[in-house]
Structure 1
Amino acid sequence: MDPKTRRNQIQQIVEENGKVEIDQLTEALQVSHMTVRRDLALLEEEQKLIRTHGGAVLPKALVKETPYVNKETKELHAKRSIAKESLSLIGHGATILVDSGTTTFELVRLLKDRDDLTIITNDIKIAAELVDAKPRCIVTGGEVQSKVGALYGAHAYDLLRSIHVDLFILGAHAVHQNVGVTAPTLEKAKMKQLMIEAAEQTWLVCDTSKFNEKSFAHVCELHEVEGIVTDDRLNDEELDLFHQTRLKAPL
């Protein structure tokens, strides 16, 4: 079988099943693992599939920005579990950067009685939650993103370049083992990158619906974060994919 015909057959198998394992392809096509991996790499370059650990899946549309009102109650149980698990990351007297988002919002709600903390955020809803709370709150400033409440722009960039903090709690729109963390816009990706640079450690907090997804603008590779706090819905294969990030999943 010539390479083009073989790759067409691989694409057809993936389209029929939604996903496929390398072992299945080697058996079906009677070729080596190396040949299959090379074919999958070429098909991914042509955006016909997305490689996974041990196989491939159909490509999905890029994850785009979601208005706050549409996501504040989505996956709420998972977000609250993640927030509770994340509390152990925040030491006494810490200065922390908290990214915009609904999962990070749930974490901040649990920190409202901590008078030993300084919280810096680029989210006006998080800042509003801290108005009558005990932590010291600093807002990055900048332009407000319509229907989302995140802050970005030159004023925010200048502040982030001028500070150094203990910990950054990073939110994510999309997380993929090959692409890393991505965001819907270049501006949002730049904010996250500057926050990473300003922090001693970065921990990613996101529910499992964000996994195996891709968005427009690259934020960082997975090895650049200290670890991931997520919910308990990952299967064994997915856990293996992300083990290098010291993923932390609440029960």
Structure 2
Amino acid sequence: MLPKERRRWIELEIMNQGKVDIEKLSKQLNVSAMTIRRDLAELEKEGKVVRIYGGAIYPKSLIQETPYIEKKGKNIRQKKAIARRALEFIPKRANIILDSGTTTMEMAKLLKDREDLTIITNDIKIAAKLTESRLKLIVTGGELQNNVGTLYGWPTQEFLKNIHADIFFLGAHAVDIESGVTAPTFEKSFIKRLMIQAAETTWLLADSSKFNQKAFSFVCDLSILEGIITDSGLSKEEKNRYEDYVTICSVYGD
């Protein structure tokens, strides 16, 4: 098969499947993984695929960044229930990293009356909510993402490389069995990975609308999570599939 024919075959496979894996393509087409990587790089230049960790996905299947004002009212009942459940995993006098997001904001609202915790966050809206609390509050610093409220960039990165926390509560844009946890931008996924590395354990907070979705940039595999706290919107079959890879804590009565 000529390179042009092979790339067309890969393009059609991604359009049909939504996602391809480098190792599988290598075996199917009887070429090296490096050849597949070059093919995917060429297809990405043409705007036909988006490369992700270990493979590529179809661009139209990606979840895009959502401004804070648009997402803060979505699935609010479920997010409140997830936040209440998450509090059960916080020991006394813990150092906690709260990721940016609307579900972690619901956690912040519930934590503001505590006095024994240290909260670290890169979300200025969460920081503002906790300003008048008696918690020890640490803001990462960095460049502000307008309309979202997230801090990122090298100051954020350097800060996270030099701290240690007990628990990280990770927010999600998209969760998928094969693609893992993904985020809309490389910068955002890199910050999340640094937070994971800084914490002893990581819990993912994700309402059921985030499942079976993919975003642009890889954050982590499901296997590195302590578990996922979600609402009862997953079907029994979906929950069973995910539980082959990670503990699922479903909130009922949400």
The gaps in structure 1 that reach 5 residues or longer are 1-41, 52-58
| 1:200-250 per-position Cα deviation (integer Å, ceiling 9, x unaligned) | 000000100000000000000000111000001111111112113111011
Which secondary structure state, in structure 2, belongs to the residue aligned with residue 168 of structure 1? Answer: strand
Which whole-Å CA distance do the structure 1 matches of 2:127 and 2:12 have between them?
A: 41
1:48 to 5, 16, 30: 16
Q: Contact 2:231 / 2:250 at 8 angstroms: preserved in 1? A: yes
Equivalent residue, structure 1, for 2:67:
67
Equivalent residue, structure 2, for 1:81:
81
Q: Contact 1:44 / 1:50 at 8 angstroms: preserved in 2? A: no
Equivalent residue, structure 2, for 1:97:
97
Matches within 5 A, 1:109-120: 109-120=109-120
Q: 1:127 is aligned with what amino acid?
A: A
Which whole-Å CA distance do the structure 1 matches of 2:92 and 2:172 have between them?
A: 26
Equivalent residue, structure 1, for 2:164:
164
Aligned-residue offset at 1:134: 1.9
Which whole-Å CA distance do the structure 2 matches of 1:45 and 1:220 have between them?
A: 24
Q: Does 1:187 align with 2:187?
A: yes
Which consecutive segments of 4 or more residues in structure 1 shift more than 3 A? 42-45
Which secondary structure state, in structure 2, belongs to the residue aligned with residue 69 of structure 1? Answer: helix
Equivalent residue, structure 1, for 2:107:
107
Q: Which is richer in strand?
A: 2
Q: How many residues align?
A: 203
Q: 1:68 is aligned with what amino acid?
A: Y
Q: 1:84 is aligned with what amino acid?
A: R
Equivalent residue, structure 2, for 1:223:
223
Which whole-Å CA distance do the structure 1 matches of 2:91 and 2:219 have between them?
A: 26
| 1:86-136 per-position Cα deviation (integer Å, ceiling 9, x unaligned) | 111111000000000000000111001110000000000000000001211
TM-score, normalised by the number of residues in structure 2 = 0.77
Matches within 5 A, 1:121-136: 121-136=121-136
Which whole-Å CA distance do the structure 1 matches of 2:242 and 2:190 have between them?
A: 24
Q: Contact 2:18 / 2:61 at 8 angstroms: preserved in 1? A: no
Which whole-Å CA distance do the structure 1 matches of 2:11 and 2:188 have between them?
A: 30
Which secondary structure state, in structure 2, belongs to the residue aligned with residue 249 of structure 1? Answer: strand
Which whole-Å CA distance do the structure 1 matches of 2:195 and 2:146 have between them?
A: 21
Q: 2:206 is aligned with what amino acid?
A: C
